[in-house]
Amino acid sequence: MAKTEHTPNGKVQMRTWEKEVKAENSWTMFRVISEFVQGFETLNAMGPCVSIFGSARTRPDDPDYKKAVDIARLLTEAGYGIITGGGPGIMEAGNKGASLYGGKSVGLNIEIPMEQFHNRFIDDDKLLNFKYFFVRKVMFVKYAQAFVILPGGFGTMDELFEVLTLVQTEKIDKVPVILVGKSFWAGLVDWLKTVMLEQEGNISPKDLDLLPLVDEPEEVVEIINQFYANVRPLGINYDL
């Protein structure tokens, strides 16, 4: 077992940074504020929207891509705008379904070193580019009336569990969080039930009610429509 290092006077020797830590300058804060202002001004005027999440790596010939297009089409026909992360893959499919069928197509693009470039199906006045993930997440969570989660990677998991945590802790109003693709998500849902709930007791049974699992695009729209007909009216999810 490693021993704690002590100085001759008996005090613990604390570690220090090996690289210089620079204080954040005020210009960084101005950039953060500008991203919030641009996001609020754009999305406040958008009306009710649904966020579609999923992998940036999904190709146009993948069945999940077509399913995302169909979901976005049906949501557009139901009167919702579509919000995605603005990139390729499932995000592109969501924007495509909105754009081709006359809906509002929003892209919340993020600057990262790999993969992310905005797709061509985003409305010109509804493309927002973010440097900071946390600002982008505020925009997703504040304005989406539902979250539709198709198969994806770490980013998709991050978005899924952030929304679930905010709903569970009542930091935002309850919203539909819909998993699409039973063959992809069933193992996760089973683990949540058998391990996280039954074995460890780390969540409550009602928490699993937050995660309907479906396969068909029509089921997605039905869940959302029923929710806003019976549970709560359409409205932003929280006030800052």
pLDDT higher at 23 or 87: 87
What pLDDT digit, counting tens, does each position of 103-155 carry?
999 999 988 766 557 899 999 999 999 999 999 999 999 999 999 999 999 99
Lowest mean pLDDT, pick from 27-36, 82-91, 145-154, 162-171: 27-36
CA distances to 1, 13, 19, 20, 21 from 16, rounded to whole Å, are: 22, 9, 9, 10, 10
Residue 79 backbone dihedrals phi, psi, to 5 degrees: 100, 10
Instruction: Name the nearest CA neighbour of 167 among 141, 189, 205.
Output: 141
**54 HSE (CA, 13 A, CB side):** 34
Tokens found for residue 114 = 């790999």
Instruction: Name the nearest CA neighbour of 136 among 193, 200, 51.
Output: 51
Band of residue 55 on the pLDDT scale cut at 50, 70, 90: very high
Burial of 222 (0-12, 13-18, 19+ CB in 10 A): middle
Band of residue 176 on the pLDDT scale cut at 50, 70, 90: very high
185's enclosing H/E stretch is helix 182-191
Question: Largest Cα–Cα distance of the chain, in whole Å?
Answer: 74
So where are the chain's domains? Answer: 29-226
Band of residue 63 on the pLDDT scale cut at 50, 70, 90: very high
Residue 90, pLDDT score: 98
- The DSSP-derived string for 36-103 is HHHHHHHHHTT-SEEEEE--TT--TTSHHHHHHHHHHHHHHHTT-EEEE-SSSTHHHHHHHHHHHTT-
Q: Which residues contact 76 (CB under 8 A, 6 or more apart)?
A: 82, 97, 98, 101, 102, 103
29-226 carries CATH number 3.40.50.2000: no
